[in-house]
Amino acid sequence: MSDEEKKKENFFEKGWKDFTTGIQDGFKKFQNSLEDQAKKNEEMFDANKAKTTEFFNKTKEKWDEQVNKWGSDLKKMEFETKEQWEARTQKIKQDIEQFQDKTRDDFSKSMKIVQRGFLKAYFYALILIIPIIIVIVILLIVFGPLIR
């Protein structure tokens, strides 16, 4: 082999080693960033889980309070007239509807927060994956003819 062929071969080997080292370093960074994002997502999930549990516990407490209130009101109303009974039952129906509406609103607000968190996670994953895909496509374009 001549010196020129050795230089070309060494240049190619050096370039290949630099390239593979760069890919390995990039992959390690990518893996670390995915692990960090997974930890953040897990923490966010735990926080949202606690909020959801708190929401349902408060809702149950409010419901129990309201049922107890209605029970005591019903005991008082045993001796009321039919018109008073109708007015009271109408009020109870309105209370139930208001309670359901408020619960629906609170639940939809909570779900929007959770959805935003997942959208952020998907966006960050996409941001991390796109550069790797671009590098792979460029590698296939550059080294594709050499492989054949």
Position 40 confidence tier, pLDDT thresholds 50, 70, 90: confident
Sign of the torsion formed by the C-alpha atoms of 140, 142, 143 and 148: positive
Q: What is the Cα–Cα distance from 49 to 113, expressed in whole angstroms?
A: 12
Domain of residue 67 covers: 3-147
Indicate whether 148 pLDDT > 70.
no
Tokens found for residue 29: 């960074």
Are the C-beta atoms of residues 92 and 85 closer than 8 Å to each other? no
Mean pLDDT of the chain: 82
- The answer to whether the beta carbons of residues 107 and 1 sit under 8 Å apart is no
> Which contiguous run of DSSP H or E holds residue 63?
helix 3-76
Look at the chain and report how many structural domains it folds into. 1
Binning pLDDT at 50, 70 and 90, where does residue 111 land? confident
Q: What is the pTM of this model?
A: 0.37
H or E element in which residue 111 lies: helix 82-147
How far apart CA 127 and CA 131 sit, in angstroms, is 7
- For 5-32, what is each residue's pLDDT tens digit? 666 566 667 777 887 888 788 888 888 8
